[in-house]
């Protein structure tokens, strides 16, 4: 089954404790991205990657890191999480950046206390 898989689905952590949210797709998509969703603010892009070893900042990259060492995986790293990073995070992928559809993962709800 074609899908985008994020882990974990839910995470509660403490301020400053490094964490990684994984994202994996099995559709051989070139383009992957991370969004955060906050009430009243919609979906805001954090980082994106057009292909392996090619990443770039989105609209709200501060406090986040990503890597794209292989095509299928695009982890989101929070080196020192803070409470303002409490949010619902979505990973998405599409065949290329020009493809018509972005497939979203099931989401990761992160709480930083």
If one counts every other C-beta atom within 10 angstroms of the C-beta of residue 92, the result is 22
Nearer to other proteins, 84 or 96 (CB): 96
* 52 close to 71: Cβ distance less than 8 angstroms: yes
User: Looking only at residues 1 through 30 of this chain, which bind other proteins when binding is defined by CB under 8 A?
Assistant: none
CB 6, min distance to other proteins, A: 9
Q: In terms of DSSP bridges, do strands 10-13 and 65-66 run parallel, antiparallel, or are they unpaired?
A: unpaired
Judged by CB under 8 A, the stretch of 20-28, 60-68, 76-84, 96-104 that binds other proteins is: 96-104
Backbone angles phi, psi at 104, to 5 degrees: -100, 145
List contacts with other proteins (CB under 8 A). Answer: 33, 35, 40-45, 48, 50, 58-59, 90, 97-98, 100-102, 104-107
């Amino acid at each position: 089954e074609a899908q985008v898989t994020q882990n974990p689905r839910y995470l509660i952590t403490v301020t400053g404790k490094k964490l990684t949210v994984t994202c994996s797709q099995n559709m051989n998509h070139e383009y992957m991205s991370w969004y955060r969703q906050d009430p009243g603010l919609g979906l805001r892009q954090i980082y994106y990657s057009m292909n392996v070893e090619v990443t770039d900042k989105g609209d709200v990259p501060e406090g986040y890191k990503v890597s794209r060492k292989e095509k299928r995986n695009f982890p989101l790293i929070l080196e020192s999480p803070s409470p303002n990073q409490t949010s619902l995070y979505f990973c998405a992928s599409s065949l290329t950046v020009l493809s018509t559809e972005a497939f979203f993962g099931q989401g990761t709800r992160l709480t930083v206390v």
